[in-house]
Structure 1
Amino acid sequence: MSSQEAVDCNALEATTSIEDITGNEHNRDILRALQNDELSDLWLCRPDLSVDNEDYGLGSSRELEWLGHFAKKGSRLGSVGIFGDDTFVNCSGQSVDRFLDDLGKCNHIKKMTFSSADLAEIINKLGPAMKNNNFTHIMVEACHLGVPEATILFNTFGDMNSLEELRIYGEVGDDLAHLNDCDMAGCTPKLAACTGMRYLKLNHLNLSTNSCAALRDVFPRMANLRELVLSGNSLDDDCTTLLAQGLTDCKQLQSLDLSDNRICDNGLDVLVQSLPTSVDVLLLSGNDITLARHVLLLRFRVLDIWGNTLCAGGTRVIAASLANPESRLEDLDLSQCNIGDEGTATLADGLRNNQRLTRMSLEDNNITERGWNALSSILCDASSINATYNSNHTLQDLGDYGVQIPKDVRLMLRLNKDENKSRVAANKILQSHRHLDMRPLFGRELGLLPYVITWLDHFAKSRPDLKLSSIFEFVRAMPMKVANWMVGKAKGENN
């Protein structure tokens, strides 16, 4: 760090212009906005990493001290982010200390983000201020986390009952979390103080049985928890049991993300049976689930099992839930699940009478024409008008990337996006039955004729030829009855 002389900003503010502080025009704009209390988010980084309009590339201690001064005087700045291990490379230790002290006095700053930053240095100095400043959101991204850093960080959380959101994660594939399960089990109990926690994300931190046992004891203190994400760890079926035990009293929990772990069918059973009824989003992509035995998946609104290799009968388990009238599933991700044509046909059968599911992603499942035809037939069964009317009018999305959806299926999915399902049915009938067969109506005599005309008039305005030709078929099939009906109608009117 540089050893530049400290600046007394209070004494010099009246005689110092923004141009005196820095020669960088981009930085000047940020300083002016901060001075005028017009800035809500501030990101600090090394000068050569400043690529975004909100990134301030620190060039000197002088700049840092004025940033802290303006931040302390304002009231709008709500979020500060520090990007890079060497963000303060051009600043003196004294200026960094003063800046962090100024941040600690900014009660309006509620969110701190550390990305690829030197946590040991920053948290050690900012920690006391974080405890007293009512921070509500802390994000730690791609930072080196060894035992010293994790200990300092979690000790800070031990006095932060104002914390509502905590996100700690490293990048996939990077060896950033030099922690084992026992290390994390020693840190996790500090979170018990965070009674206001609503969103907790601990990703790629090598969490396993010991950590989950510690979390089990912490969760009862987090009655307001809404979302829990523990992806990219080493959670197995035993871990799901521990987590479910701890989450029993989290009655406001809505979403649980355990993606990229080692959870199998037994763990899924535990989650289905033991999670609070408030949980309607379950994300389990990248695990070891096969659905080798029956399990009801009715309770979830969103279910993601992307990347799990299902067994041959796995799609039957899903289809059984989709066919159940009590199913709440609206969004189902089955990408890369080894489904194929046979599985697609099974899913199609389950969807025949389903009126809830709007999205079912089938990306990368080796589906050919045979599988798509099975889906096409449930989206628009053209075997009769009645069958078309009773087709699936709810499913709207089968995924995008890696899915070659046939044109006819895409058309039906697009029609299904109309919220008026009666209109969806009518449009499908008009698409699939170019010359309507009126014979099914003949057995009901002529009382239906006004309704037929009204229906066609309402839904076939763009095809008057279709309406007239259909009525003509009706009249031609029953000429005498039509004539008698018209005569009787006329006599009735005369009377």
Structure 2
Amino acid sequence: MNLTGNKLGNSVNLLSDVLQNPHCKLEILWLIDCGVTDESCASLASALRSNSSHLRGLDLIGNKIGDLGVDRLCTGLKDPHCKLEKLRLSDCGVTDEGCAALASALRSNPSHLRELSLSRNKLGDSGVKLLSAGLEDPHCKLEKLWLSDCGVKDKGCAALASALRSNPSHLRHLDLSWNKIGDLGVNRLCAGLKDPHCKLEILWLRDCGVTDEGCVALASALRSNSSLLRHLNLTGNKLGKSGVKLLKENPHYKLETVYC
């Protein structure tokens, strides 16, 4: 069901009541830019906790639910009955406090969440560190993480690298586009890419302030025997010919696509 762009507000509570009905088989619900509030998030969490819940995908992009809304939503994510696999919270006014709640949910047993989008929230390095702590937990099964335009810098990259080195690490897709992580951030991230436990296959670093120096670090990671990286996006960075050559002209890399 796609209700994008409708000003539902707290009437989402009525919809949540329906989701708890044993006859309801709804699996995907889009509520993009619907004026959803933190109060509505509490109602949605109640639906996720329902024994009859079939919901697998929930999209709340563009709703200013803030950290309180995320915290209330996470009470549902932690419940054993919750089967949610995809959650999109881009541009929702989330900060590091919301990341702490999400990290706790990712550590829950069992955690079914496989895809999480937090793009265009002001998380900063502190928020990413908290989130990475959840990624390192054995119960976390997250495979795709979007963090574009989140104020991430090099310290946040170091935390993510630690998560990529965790055993087991399930992360396959990481988007850090439009974060000014620079070459230092890329270098720290590559420490995780080189680890045998790292399963990352897709890495987006669009417009991240990367130069040829960062390409050297990436090339080193790609040469490692354990590298599984297949798709790399570096468009919008100030790369010279030498940096592009490092990434595109080595036949030993496993890369299938590289955008510079």
TM-score range, shorter chain: 0.7 to 0.9
Aligned ranges for residues 5-404 of structure 1 at < 5 Å? 112-120=1-9, 122-132=11-21, 133-159=24-50, 161-170=53-62, 177-193=63-79, 195-221=82-108, 222-247=110-135, 248-275=137-164, 276-292=168-184, 293=187, 295-296=190-191, 297-298=193-194, 299=198, 300-348=200-248, 351-362=249-260
| Alpha-carbon contact 1:232-1:261 (below 8 Å) kept | yes
Shift of residue 157, structure 1, vs aligned partner: 3.7
Shift of residue 220, structure 1, vs aligned partner: 2.6
Shift of residue 309, structure 1, vs aligned partner: 0.8
In structure 2, relative to structure 1, the CA distance for the partners of 1:206 and 1:345 (3 Å cut) is same
Distance 1:357 1:212 in 2: 32
Shift of residue 147, structure 1, vs aligned partner: 4.1
The residue matched to 2:2 in structure 1 has which SS? Answer: strand
| Root mean square deviation of aligned Cα | 2.5
In structure 2, relative to structure 1, the CA distance for the partners of 1:251 and 1:127 (3 Å cut) is closer
Deviations 1:255-301 (A, max 9, x none): 22212211112212211222442212211111121132453324321
Deviations 1:144-185 (A, max 9, x none): 234444444445444364322211102xxxxxx344434543
Distance 1:326 1:124 in 2: 48
Deviations 1:410-468 (A, max 9, x none): xxxxxxxxxxxxxxxxxxxxxxxxxxxxxxxxxxxxxxxxxxxxxxxxxxxxxxxxxxx
In structure 2, relative to structure 1, the CA distance for the partners of 1:152 and 1:244 (3 Å cut) is same
The residue matched to 1:316 in structure 2 has which SS? Answer: helix
| Alpha-carbon contact 2:201-2:231 (below 8 Å) kept | yes
Distance 1:127 1:330 in 2: 40
Aligned ranges for residues 445-460 of structure 1 at < 5 Å? none
| Alpha-carbon contact 2:37-2:69 (below 8 Å) kept | no
Distance 1:163 1:124 in 2: 15
Distance 1:179 1:224 in 2: 22
In structure 2, relative to structure 1, the CA distance for the partners of 1:341 and 1:136 (3 Å cut) is same
The residue matched to 2:182 in structure 1 has which SS? Answer: coil
* Equivalent residue letter for 1:189: T
In structure 2, relative to structure 1, the CA distance for the partners of 1:339 and 1:192 (3 Å cut) is same
* Equivalent residue letter for 2:31: V
Distance 1:312 1:145 in 2: 44
* Equivalent residue letter for 1:181: D
Deviations 1:7-44 (A, max 9, x none): xxxxxxxxxxxxxxxxxxxxxxxxxxxxxxxxxxxxxx
In structure 2, relative to structure 1, the CA distance for the partners of 1:312 and 1:252 (3 Å cut) is same
| Alpha-carbon contact 2:76-2:82 (below 8 Å) kept | no
In structure 2, relative to structure 1, the CA distance for the partners of 1:216 and 1:144 (3 Å cut) is same
| Alpha-carbon contact 1:216-1:246 (below 8 Å) kept | yes
Q: Which has the higher helix share?
A: 1
Shift of residue 212, structure 1, vs aligned partner: 0.9
Q: Percent identity?
A: 24
Q: Which one is further off, 236-245 or 184-193?
A: 184-193
* Equivalent residue letter for 1:262: G
Deviations 1:180-208 (A, max 9, x none): 43454355434323531212221111111
Unaligned runs of 5+ in 1: 1-111, 171-176, 363-495
Distance 1:208 1:121 in 2: 23
| Alpha-carbon contact 1:120-1:148 (below 8 Å) kept | no
Q: Which one is further off, 154-163 or 140-149?
A: 154-163
Deviations 1:300-345 (A, max 9, x none): 2111111111145111111111222332111100101111223223
| Alpha-carbon contact 1:189-1:215 (below 8 Å) kept | no
In structure 2, relative to structure 1, the CA distance for the partners of 1:345 and 1:355 (3 Å cut) is closer
| Alpha-carbon contact 2:50-2:82 (below 8 Å) kept | no
Q: Which one is further off, 269-278 or 150-159?
A: 150-159
